[in-house]
Homo-oligomer: A and B are copies of this chain.
């Protein structure tokens, strides 16, 4: 019976998803490091239908990502959401596709990503979305 008073999830189209994530900020990259899925928050920027993010070359999970994509692409997902616990509402967007590490040349031409943490965050990645989906939950 609880369901009848609660709002339903609304599917968002591709254009709306890209609009929602356009400002950049913090997203979460998911990849398989050989021991199953892992998820790490990163700062990101949007460039067309791809997202750019930077990470450290030293973190354990990051090393796995680096190893996975060296010399090629790895399947990855990128999730961005905005959730308001007070009104129990929000939206989430999921990009799925291939991630690759930028070469120095690609990096120099890329949109800037401003990472919050200090330390070297010298590994830049681009995830090109082959699939974009999203959902919105309106306040009750």
Using a CB–CB cutoff of 8 Å, the interface residues on chain A facing chain B are 2-9, 25-26, 28, 30-32, 35-41, 56, 59-61, 75-77, 79, 81, 83, 85, 88-90, 92, 94, 96, 116-121, 133, 137
Contacts and interface: CB of A to CB of B under 8 A. Distances in A.
Given A3-B120, A6-B118, A118-B3, A36 B89 contact: no
A116 B96 contact: no
A131 B120 CA distance: 26
A interface secondary structure, majority:
strand
Task: Count identical subunits in the complex.
Answer: 2
Nearest to A98: B36
Given A25-B85, A41-B92, A96-B36, A30 B77 contact: yes
B116 A35 contact: no
